[in-house]
Amino acid sequence: MDPSLELEVMGDVAAGLKKLSGDTEAARRVLQWAVSAFLPDGMPAISMPSPSLQAPAAVVSGTGSGEPAPSRSFSSLPDLYSAVSPASDASRALVVGYWFQVMQGEQDLDGFQINKELKHLGHGVTNITTALSSLIERKPQLVIQTRKSGNSKQARKRYRLTDAGIKAVERMIAGGDL
């Protein structure tokens, strides 16, 4: 490919992102969309962690109610999980999904991966698909299914937390219920 053409396209992308007036979250969503729309299936995903995760331990603040909460940092999934103490299978899956998506920068989540971590924590879920489906069925949806590979009912599914799902976990971190 012609390097000057690549630079021209990069300039077009930069000009488009400037229209967002420095809204880094919007720019991140646009770039994630572009990656998923234009990279071939099967190509490894490009991980783009949230800009707030530049420190070794991610810091979570805000209650979602308009008033700031004391900042809390979690350097590991067990630290986050024990601080939140989720009670239901669905909230357990949501908290682990939050860890992978928000704090580790994963783009899509795998139910098997979520349940594997829950088992390591001593809180495995009997049916992870049912737990995640209950989060999909809520209004507003806390999780969405992004992909299914295979035709069978047991096919591997990929998920992503919605903005409402992320805010729900942040409320749980701040001491609220799901």
Say if 132 falls within a structural domain: yes
What's the domain range around 167? 50-173
pLDDT of residue 68: 37
State the Cα–Cα distance between residues 155 and 142, nearest whole angstrom. Answer: 21
pLDDT of residue 75: 86
Q: Is residue 108 part of a domain?
A: yes
Q: Does one domain contain both 90 and 112?
A: yes
**Whether 81 and 147 share a structural domain:** yes
CA–CA distance, 27 with 29 (Å, rounded to integer): 5
Select from 46, 63, 82 the last residue of a domain.
46
Q: How far apart are CA 9 and CA 110, in angstroms?
A: 33
Residues 101 and 146 placed together within one structural domain of the fold: yes
Q: Are residues 160 and 104 in the same domain?
A: yes
For residue 50, what pLDDT is reported? 46
What separation in angstroms does the CA of 137 have from each of 6, 43, 142?
Answer: 42, 30, 8
One DSSP character per residue, the chain reads --HHHHHHHHHHHHHHHHTTTT-HHHHHHHHHHHHHHHSPTTSPPPP---GGG-SSSEEE---SSSSPPPPEEESSHHHHHHHH---SHHHHHHHHHHIIIIIS--SSEEHHHHHHHHHHTT---S-HHHHHHHHHHSSS-SEEEEEEESSSTT-EEEEEE-HHHHHHHHHHHTT---
70 shares its domain with 38: no
pLDDT for res 47: 53
Spell out the per-residue pLDDT of the chain, length 178, in tens: 677 777 777 778 878 878 877 777 777 777 777 776 776 665 555 555 544 433 333 444 444 444 333 346 788 999 999 999 998 999 999 999 999 999 899 989 999 999 999 999 999 999 999 999 999 999 999 999 998 887 776 678 899 999 999 999 999 998 866 5
Residues with Cβ within 8 Å of residue 74, at least 6 apart in sequence = 57, 58, 60, 80, 83, 103
User: Nearest Cα to 50, choosing from 21, 70, 25, 75?
Assistant: 25
Structure tokens given for 121: 């924590």
Q: Is the dihedral of CA 51, 173, 91, 58 positive or negative?
A: positive
**What's the number of domains the chain is made of?**
2
Regarding pTM above 0.75, the answer is: no
